[in-house]
Amino acid sequence: MMIQEGQILDDRYEIDSLIGQGGMSFVYRAKDTKMGRAVAIKVLKEEYCEDEDFIRKFQNEAQAAAKLNHPNIVAVYDIVDNHEDKLHYIVMELVEGITLKTYIQRKGAMDSKEAVALALQVVGGIEQAHKNGIVHRDIKPQNMIVSDDGTVKVADFGIARAATQQTVNTTVMGSVHYISPEQARSGQADERSDIYSFGCTLYEMLTGKVPYDGSTSVAVVFAHMENKIPRVRDLVPDVYPALDIAVFKCMQKRPSRRYQHIGELREDLQKAIKDPGGSFFEGKIPEDLDETRVLSPAELDDLKSMQNQSDSKTEQPHYSGIPGFLYDHNIIRDHIMLSRIITVICGIAILILVLIIGKNVVDFFTRDTTPLETAATTVAETEETTAVSITISALETRIQGIIGLTIDEAEEDLREYNIRILSSGAEYSDTYNEGVIISYPDKDYAAGSTIEVTVSKGPQTIVFYNKNNPYDLSTLNETKLQDLETRLKERDIPYSVTEEYSDTVPAGYVIRTNKPDSSGSEKLEIVVSRGLNANVVNVPDLKEYSEQDALTALSLLELTPGNISYLPDNTVEEGIVTGQSIAAGTPVPKGTTISFTVSAGPNGIASVKSVDPQDLTTTSSDKNGWYSSISTTVSLGSGAEPGSNETMLVSIRLRQDVNGEEHYRTLQEARSYAIGTELQVVFPTIKGEEGIPSGVVEVVNASTDTVIASFACAFSPEE
């Protein structure tokens, strides 16, 4: 059944989004609220939920797969069987990555070294399953996921077995490009069937192509049963000879000629790393790995005796020296019994095979409708041969693999079915990148169909800044309001704009927003720069200045000093500013009157005086020494997230080089400022070391002792 985004299953699993669809199930990304981890949930479709026998077998197989614990197997966490809601699903490990099929399509043929590295991971997972008595039955690159860190994991152990048991007439569940001959003939499979399918997969990894291809699925199946085994070396001459032999051995038609256990293949792959030439195969390569040879009279006698055996669907016994994988006694006729020339035998065999394939291909294409889910073909051979019923899963009806692919990639994936894909529209998506398929009509498709898909236009959500680093607004400050408005209007996102002056952000560019991205119901508020206002200055921080320095600082910024109040103070030295009428950092027009309070010392008398600006002087009462001055601003961070109370502890010091040694003098003790403050660094009189003509004023983060900003100053003796 289809599950809605945001739905919570069994009070535990919160559905995030649909990430894939298959013939039997829907696959969702979800959150396990109990364990606090992301998971993948495979939910059975309704048509399977009606079959109690299938549900029972499916659960049994899933439980067996859940016991597998291996780094190269997708873990099964939970199995839920809810008959009341007709909801049956499996909770699995969520692996972030792409399928091995997609990896091959994007990369092309792998070199031998990389192929061995990936193959050993897959073989490790399969070997663990086989040791636990589980045969996969659907080994193919589509069922292998390459994670972001390069780990390969095999998925869906046990699922193919349950599906096979549920169907009738020995339905073949595996993809036809990787199906073993015995699965195609009878639906029977064992560990060696997985080895054959993996051999096909390894062939594709090394060549970039499937070993057998054809215009129809039936043609591909017959190629697996009858055609000569392809060699990797024919397409990739520089392949490790050891790998070429290993793939060839995996893909033997008869199970008895293959590796009998996956561990044997693992050992040969490990040997291939140290001995790419494959010398370790010497003396161990069966005759059927060599070229076709002429049959001896004794072998022909054996063939005649085989013809007289009772009709059987089991594999024919192995006769010493007979290349049985090239011949099937079902296509040997009585009139060739006396023939001793191998070319005659081959000619007649090929003729019969062509007639059989031709008849079934005609039947296949002359039917009124051919569902892609199971295209059944019955091979009716001559009366002396055995009738074989083959049912092929040619294409999963929901075309699971095309979500997340571009149109070109999807058409290449479905090339064998002559599927055409057209874009019927585009939508924004926070899940999929721009240009990839995000949805299409949920129905069955036939070969030659046209599928109209919806393509992603990119993220719906616009990110303004990293919410984990709200102090860095550099990217936002480089965004023009006009460009941002275009993106907001395209997405129908409501917003408002206000303007303010800024000393650091150019006019027309965004200063800040009230939230880090456009998600959520809160209306977006944008503050845009009006540029620098020459008539507005930020009030300096006068605290801890001397009275004279405070007056000079106001004068330098063209601010008018107001009343000076003298109040007794037991904690602050006499003559030092303890407060001011307008808070530091406040933007005000030039000429604004600023009053301040000065300590009268512990025994002082409270009084107030007015200041005549004409009496202001910028000179210091201390005439001995070398002096400089500074008037500038420093931005403490790029601005905090709206509503944030983040602060920074800041001190200011003078650094001078005296005879090769660094001397420091504190100009301002550490004070706390809000992040985003435009700190006024105004010191009308800075006394330096006598005879030292230069120095550096440093604004320091006192918490970490790191320099936020530094300014070079020139010093000269007071005249």
DSSP string, 298-326: HHHHHHHHHHTSPP-SSPPPPPTT--GGG
Q: How far apart are CA 259 and CA 269, in angstroms?
A: 12
> CA-based Rg of the chain, rounded to a whole angstrom?
40
What is the structure's pLDDT at 179? 92
474-526 sits in which CATH class?
Answer: alpha beta
What is the structure's pLDDT at 231? 95
What is the structure's pLDDT at 338? 42
CATH number for the domain formed by residue range(s) 399-455: 3.30.10.20
Q: Which residues of the chain have pLDDT under 50?
A: 160, 162-174, 286-300, 302-340, 366-398, 400, 617-623, 639-644
What is the structure's pLDDT at 579? 92
Say if CB 136 and CB 129 are below 8 A apart.
yes
Which amino acid does the sequence have at 61? E
Three-class SS string for 371-432? CCCCEEEEECCCCCCCCEEEEECCCCCCCHHHCCCCHHHHHHHCHHHCCEEEEEEEECCCCC
H-helix or E-strand spanning residue 658: strand 647-658
User: Catalytic site residue 138?
Assistant: yes
What is this structure's pTM?
Answer: 0.44
What is the structure's pLDDT at 191? 93
What is the structure's pLDDT at 255? 93
What is the structure's pLDDT at 410? 85
Q: How far apart are CA 261 and CA 581, in angstroms?
A: 87
Say if CB 556 and CB 522 are below 8 A apart.
no
534-618 sits in which CATH class?
Answer: alpha beta
Evaluate whether the domain defined by 98-289 bears CATH number 1.10.10.10: no
Of 65, 61, 21, nearest in space to 41 by CA: 21
Pick the catalytic residue: 53, 85, 138, 408? 138
Tokens 């693992």, located at residue: 266
Q: How far apart are CA 114 and CA 146, in angstroms?
A: 13
Q: How far apart are CA 633 and CA 585, in angstroms?
A: 10
Which amino acid does the sequence have at 379? V
Evaluate whether the domain defined by 1-94 bears CATH number 3.30.200.20: yes
Say if CB 638 and CB 477 are below 8 A apart.
yes
